[in-house]
Structure 1
Amino acid sequence: MQQEPQLLIMLSESMLSSSEESESSSWSDDCNVKHESEVEHEDLEDENDDRLFFPLMQYLIRRRRKRVDDYLHIIDSWSDAEFKSRLRISRKTALRLIDDLEKSGFIASHKFGLKPLEPKLCFYIFLTFIGSTEPLTPIAGRFDISISSTFRVLRRVIAWILTKLDDAIKWPQDYSEIKSICESFHEKTGISNILGVIDASHIKIEKPKNGREYCNKKGYYSIILQATVDSSMRFTNIFCGEPGSSNCTRVLKKSPLYNTAIQNRDGLFPHNTFLVGHSGYPSLPWLIPPFRESKRLTSQQREFNTLHTSTRKFSEKAFNLLKGRFKRVKVFNIYRNIAFITDTIVAACILYNYCLSENDHLEDQE
C-alpha cells in the first residue's frame, strides 16, 4: 500500500478537525465550497489554494465514508449471537425497527456534514448508547461522527421511539386480558385479583444544578421510574422523572395513574382487581401493601405477607431485566439534562416491552 504524502496527511487532519466543528452547527451543514464563478477575480494564491482544496475534500469525503461503511460492515459481519450480545436486541428485531424508522421521516434523507445519516447508522448509534454506559466520545469515534452530531442522532431516534409509547406500554383493557393476568398471578403467587405490581426504581444521575432535590436516601443523585408490571414482567404503566428525594407515595400521587384511579376506579380496576405494592405505598381500595409487621398479626396475615413479598419480585425482576438489557438505565454519567435522561429511560422501557412482544429474550438474562 502506498503511503500518503505528508502534506496531504497534515491537511486532512486539519480539514477533519474543521469539519467536526461545522457538523455541530446544524443538521443540514454542508462544506462551504466555492463555485468556480466566485473565484474568477481572486488572486493567484487563492486559486492555488482552491486547486488543492477540492481534491482534498473529495479525498476526505471518500475516506470518512469508508470508515463509517467499514464499521457498519463489521456490525453486519457479526453472528446473530454476537449482534444480540453487543447491541442487546436481536438482528431481526433491529432490522424491523430500522425499517419503521426509515418510513417515519424522523431521520432526514439529506446529507449531514460529510456523510449521509442513514436510519441504519442512526439506530446502531442509539443501540450502542442505550446498551452500554460508554461516554459519547468513544461511540462518536467508532461511528466517525462528532459528539454533538451523535447527541442529535440520539435525540431524533429517542423522539421516534417515544411515538410508540401508547402501543408498547398499555394498561389491560379487555376482560379476557384482565382475566388472564389475574389467573397468571394467582397461579404463581396464590393471591386472587392481582392486576399488577407497582414499584419504583432509582436511576443514578450526575449531580444536577438543584442537587439537593435529587439526592435520595441512599446518598446518591437519582430520578425515579415508577412502573406497574404484569405477571409476564411487562410494563403496563410508567411514570418517570420525579427527583430522587421524593418518596413512593408522593410520586404515586403525582402520577396520572393515581388521578385516573381516583376518578374512575372501576374503569381502571374492574371486578375488584388491584395492585400490590410494598409498605411504602398507602393502603387504597385498588392498592394493597403488606400488613405492617407486629406481634399482633394472625397466621393468615403473616402468610399473606409472605405471598405478598413473592409477588413483588415480579417488579424487581422487571427492573433488573430492563437495566440488564439496556445498561444505560443503570447510570447516566456526565449527562445533566433531566428531560433527555427521562426521555431515554422511557424509550428504554418502550423498547423493552417491544422486545417482549417479539419474544426477543437475552440468553444471559434467562
Structure 2
Amino acid sequence: MEIIHFNATFPGSTHNAAIWQGSSLSQLLENNYVNGVSAGEWLLGDSGYAQLPWLMTPYTDADENTPEARYNLAHTKTRVLIEKCFGVMKTRFRCIHKHRTLHYDPVNASKIIAAVVVLHNVAIKRNEPLPDELELEDRLRPTDDPGYEFFKCGKKYSK
C-alpha cells in the first residue's frame, strides 16, 4: 500500500484523467511503451480514464458470464487495494477525511497532502498499526484542561 507517485498541485475540481494525462509518470509509461521497454508493466484505472496499452480500465456494460465481465471482476478485486490505501491514510490522518477541511491556501494544502503521503509510506514500511476508532476519538476530543493543546495536520488548536 505504498504510494509510488502522486501530484497534489491541482485543485480538487480538476478531473483525475486530466491530471494523469499531463503527469510525468504517464509520459514515462508512454515513452517506455513506444520504445519497447515496458513489457509487463500496467496500471489499473477506473472508468474515468482512457484505455491505453499500459493503462487498463474496466469494460463498460459487460454482459454477465463473458470474458469481459470476468476481467472487470478481476480488475475490481485488484483495484480495491488503492481504495484501502486511501482508507488507511484517512484513518491515520483525519484532516484528509471527507468531513474535514484543510483551511489553508492551495500551496500549503499541497504541502500538507505531500507530508501525509510521505508519512503514510513511512508508517507502511515500519508496519505501524492503525489507531482504533475509540483511541482516535479520545485523541481528537479536547479535555477539560485549560492548557490543553492539540494539533491536526499542521494546524494548532487551543481550547
TM-score (norm 1): 0.33
1:79 alignment counterpart: none
- What one-letter code is carried by the residue in structure 2 that aligns with 1:305? N
Q: Are the counterparts in 1 of residues 44 and 55 from structure 2 also a CA contact under 8 Å?
A: yes
Q: Are the counterparts in 2 of residues 274 and 288 from structure 1 also a CA contact under 8 Å?
A: yes
1:61-210 matches, cutoff 5 A: none
2:68 alignment counterpart: 301
Higher relative contact order (CA 8 A, sep 6+): 2
The unaligned stretches of length 5 or more in structure 2 are 134-159
* Number of equivalent positions: 131
Cα 1:299–1:259 change in 2 (3 A) is: same
- CA drift at 1:293: 1.1
Would you identify which runs of 4 or more consecutive aligned residues in structure 1 move more than 6 Å?
A: none
CA distance in 2, matches of 1:334, 1:288: 36
- CA drift at 1:341: 0.3
Q: CA RMSD in A?
A: 2.4
CA distance in 1, matches of 2:127, 2:62: 43
- 2:101 paired with 1:332: yes
Deviations 1:104-151 (A, max 9, x none): xxxxxxxxxxxxxxxxxxxxxxxxxxxxxxxxxxxxxxxxxxxxxxxx
Q: Which has the higher helix share?
A: 1
- CA drift at 1:329: 1.9
- CA drift at 1:292: 1.2
Cα 1:350–1:280 change in 2 (3 A) is: same
Cα 1:243–1:333 change in 2 (3 A) is: closer
- What one-letter code is carried by the residue in structure 1 that aligns with 2:84? K
CA distance in 2, matches of 1:288, 1:323: 26
- 2:46 paired with 1:285: no
- CA drift at 1:349: 0.5
- CA drift at 1:288: 0.3
Q: Are the counterparts in 1 of residues 62 and 68 from structure 2 also a CA contact under 8 Å?
A: no
CA distance in 1, matches of 2:96, 2:13: 18
- What one-letter code is carried by the residue in structure 2 that aligns with 1:334? H
1:344 alignment counterpart: 112
Cα 1:350–1:315 change in 2 (3 A) is: same
1:40-59 matches, cutoff 5 A: none
- 2:98 paired with 1:322: no
Deviations 1:46-77 (A, max 9, x none): xxxxxxxxxxxxxxxxxxxxxxxxxxxxxxxx
- What one-letter code is carried by the residue in structure 2 that aligns with 1:303? R
Cα 1:273–1:307 change in 2 (3 A) is: same
CA distance in 2, matches of 1:252, 1:334: 26
Q: Are the counterparts in 2 of residues 240 and 342 from structure 1 also a CA contact under 8 Å?
A: yes
